[in-house]
């Protein structure tokens, strides 16, 4: 009897073990490998749009005309009549120079005139040669030319309307061959120079409008115009210089100010995609977009242009009408099947 009970217990345990094993096998059969699942993605159809081709350049404001004021020969400075920041007008006397050397030269000229008169009288009666007469006349002419130059330089005047931006000498200083006594700059108009990519060379023309903003006047825009387009391209940078002139009647814009110049080269038709569709390739600067077609995605390397709010301009790599993946890119690979969800 006892032996029968033991056999029955073993049989029951075997049934339980078989039951448990059968359940686990069924569970394993029902489990699906996550790698075999189709990733879920969201897609959006893209199209062509007009994209403004604007470029912004940084530059420093410069005066349109700059004059360095200095005598052409060494002089002692008698008085400097203006200071840095003073507005001056064309023809205004800025500096007077010591006239003592001028007085000395005038005395020498009077003496030379008498000498020439004596030589001229002797020459007329045969008492002096033609060479002696020529030499006396030449010496007088040289002195009179020097007097004219010294008279012109005894006062230094402004050649332009402008403002004094530098003063390097004081009253009583001896001017040698160093820097200028004063620097005068014309502030209306002012200008800036930008370096533009050679790709825009054919589009950049004289008279084009330019919007200029300054850090000194936040929120204010100044109107400029292209005044000069340089005819050659820098072979190192592949850019060319462009001068932009800004009307400045109130002298509000000053040389040295930091400026941003924005040029609009017109609109072009390009594909535009949501910025969520653009993925940066790890380890490089390349960008790519997954394009959905017939249940699969393809890896498309793209050249991006401007970032406009929530969209990117696509220069190349995507055709209009394509459906691009905007969500769910983390598990994607080129050619993988996907499920599109709304």
Q: What is the mean pLDDT of residues 252-264?
A: 95
pLDDT value at position 24? 45
DSSP category for residue 329 = G
pLDDT value at position 11? 44
pLDDT value at position 12? 44
Pick the closest to residue 60 from 262, 263, 256, 261 (CA basis): 256
pLDDT value at position 22? 45
Helix (H) or strand (E) segment spanning residue 63: strand 62-69
Confidence class for position 34, pLDDT limits 50, 70, 90: low
Confidence class for position 285, pLDDT limits 50, 70, 90: confident
Q: How far apart are the first and last CA of the chain?
A: 70
Strands of the sheet with 75-80, listed across from one edge: 155-157, 93-97, 75-80, 174-175
Res 312 pLDDT > 90: yes
Helix (H) or strand (E) segment spanning residue 269: strand 258-274
Please give the Cα distance from 109 to 73 (Å, whole number): 19
Domain residue spans of the chain:
40-51+269-340, 56-64+185-266, 68-175
**What is the CATH architecture assignment of 40-51+269-340?**
Beta Barrel (2.40)
Q: What is the mean pLDDT of residues 310-320?
A: 94
Bridge partners, 59 (sequence order)? 259
**3-state secondary structure at position 219:** strand
pLDDT value at position 238? 96
Please give the Cα distance from 306 to 52 (Å, whole number): 9
Q: What is the mean pLDDT of residues 299-326?
A: 93
Q: What is the pTM of this model?
A: 0.63
Percent of the chain with pLDDT over 90: 65
Q: Token pair for residue 74?
A: 């060494």
pLDDT value at position 332? 92
Pick the closest to residue 42 from 327, 236, 281 (CA basis): 327
pLDDT in tens, 90-143: 999 999 988 776 777 888 899 999 999 999 989 888 888 999 999 999 999 998
pLDDT value at position 17? 41
Q: What is the mean pLDDT of residues 28-54?
A: 78
CB 303 within 8 A of CB 3: no
Res 196 pLDDT > 50: yes
Res 181 pLDDT > 80: yes
Please give the Cα distance from 225 to 191 (Å, whole number): 9
Q: Token pair for residue 150?
A: 């010294």
Query: What CATH number belongs to 56-64+185-266?
Result: 2.40.30.170
> Who wins on pLDDT, 58 or 172?
58
Res 235 pLDDT > 50: yes
Identical fold, 40-51+269-340 and 56-64+185-266: no
Other C-beta atoms lying within 10 Å of the C-beta of residue 281: 11
pLDDT value at position 33? 54
Helical H segments across the chain, by residue range: 2-30, 100-124, 130-153
pLDDT in tens, 1-28: 444 444 444 444 444 444 444 444 444 4
Please give the Cα distance from 297 to 97 (Å, whole number): 84
């Amino acid at each position: 009897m006892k032996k029968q009970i033991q056999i029955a217990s073993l049989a029951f345990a075997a049934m339980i073990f078989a039951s448990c094993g059968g359940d686990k096998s069924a569970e394993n059969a029902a489990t699906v490998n996550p790698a075999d699942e189709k990733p879920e993605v969201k897609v959006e159809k893209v199209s062509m749009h007009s994209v403004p081709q604007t470029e912004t350049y940084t530059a420093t404001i410069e005066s349109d005309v700059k004059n360095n004021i200095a005598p052409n020969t060494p002089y002692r400075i008698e008085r400097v009549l203006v200071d840095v920041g003073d507005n001056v007008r064309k023809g205004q006397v800025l500096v007077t120079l010591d006239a003592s050397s001028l007085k000395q030269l005038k005395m020498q000229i009077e003496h030379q005139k008498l000498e020439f008169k004596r030589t001229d009288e002797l020459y007329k009666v045969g008492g002096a040669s033609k060479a002696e007469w020529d030499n006396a006349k030449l010496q007088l002419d040289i002195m009179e030319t020097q007097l004219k130059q010294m008279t012109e330089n005894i006062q230094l005047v402004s050649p332009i309307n402008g403002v004094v931006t530098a003063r390097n000498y004081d009253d009583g200083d001896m001017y040698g061959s160093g820097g200028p006594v004063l620097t005068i700059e014309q502030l209306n108009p002012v200008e800036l120079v930008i370096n533009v990519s050679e790709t825009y060379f054919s589009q950049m023309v004289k008279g084009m409008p330019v919007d200029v903003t300054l850090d000194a006047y936040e929120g204010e825009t100044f109107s400029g115009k292209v005044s000069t387009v340089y005819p050659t391209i820098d072979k190192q940078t592949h850019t060319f210089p462009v001068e932009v002139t800004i009307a400045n009647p109130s002298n509000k814009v000053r040389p040295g100010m930091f400026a941003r110049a924005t040029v609009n080269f017109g609109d072009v038709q390009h594909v535009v995609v949501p910025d969520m569709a653009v993925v940066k390739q790890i380890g490089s600067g390349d960008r790519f977009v997954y394009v959905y077609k017939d249940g699969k995605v393809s890896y498309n390397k793209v050249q991006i242009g401007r970032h406009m709010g929530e969209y990117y301009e696509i220069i190349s790599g995507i055709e209009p009408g394509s459906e691009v993946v905007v969500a769910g890119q983390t598990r994607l690979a080129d050619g993988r099947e996907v499920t599109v969800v709304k």
